[in-house]
Amino acid sequence: MVYALIDSRVNEMIQSRLQKEGFGIITLPPSRDLPEAIASHPDSLVTKIGNTLIFSADYSDDGVCALTDVREYAPHIKMILASEPMGKKYPQDTRYNALRIGDHLFCRTESISSSVKDEAERQGLTIVNVKQGYPHCSTLKLNDRAAITADSGMASAMEKCGIRVYRIETGNIALPPYEYGFIGGACGVFDRKIYFFGDYTAHPSRSVIELSAKAEGLELISLTDGMLSDFGGIVFLDK
């Protein structure tokens, strides 16, 4: 079974829908070291590079049950507990927010964990420095060649690396108490399907989302009704 790491605050309806899609669920409890709004967001708590997960060692207490579940249900996954602590203020809250697309790892190199950089280099990835401290949150990776984002800086960096970029409008994704959240945090992609926290058709850039999915051969699945919500995305523990 493929397991999905999700924010523990994702409602039961969405969790049930993911289970009906065939996924096991591992919920990530909040970290006391991150701002409350993103304290249990997968894209802030963990970096996934290949079959390696990199967490802050400080999350071992808050997330002990989740980490135990990963070891039990996904024994093929290597887990690294990194020394750099997370923090409630920017950029300390970006230590583990990085985005891999193909052979590139996009991150804010000044603030990303050295363990993330070391693992990326060990796996032969090219590290691309970006100003955006939340690259995983701000960008929906469609595959190893294409992505969706509203962030112009991320779009430019990806295009320079030969990645096709579909640009959408900023906002219209819920992340209280902030003004808005981001597309990468509002969904997850697995086996050529995009699973959205909410109804993607409610987004004003619906046509761009549909066009990109069709062009890249992906199916769009809304896990619930209403506006899209940023829960830090979904990290799938594929085999």
Q: Please, what are the averages of pLDDT over each run of 10 residues along the chain (239 residues)? A: 98 98 98 98 98 97 97 97 97 98 98 98 98 98 98 98 98 97 98 98 98 98 98 93
Q: How many domains does the chain have?
A: 1
CATH code assigned at 113 = 3.75.10.10
Secondary structure of the chain in HEC code, one letter for each residue: CCEEEEECCCCHHHHHHHHHCCCEEEEECCCCCCCHHHCCCHHHHEEEECCEEEEECCHHHHCHHHHHHHHHHCCCCEEEEECCCCCCCCCHHHCCCCEEECCEEEECCCCCCHHHHHHHHHCCCEEEECCCCCHHHHEEECCCCEEEECCHHHHHHHHHCCCEEEECCCCCEECCCCCCCCCHHHEEEECCEEEECCCHHHCCCHHHHHHHHHHHCCEEEECCCCCEECCCCCEEECC
Range of the domain at 168: 3-237
pLDDT score for 222: 98
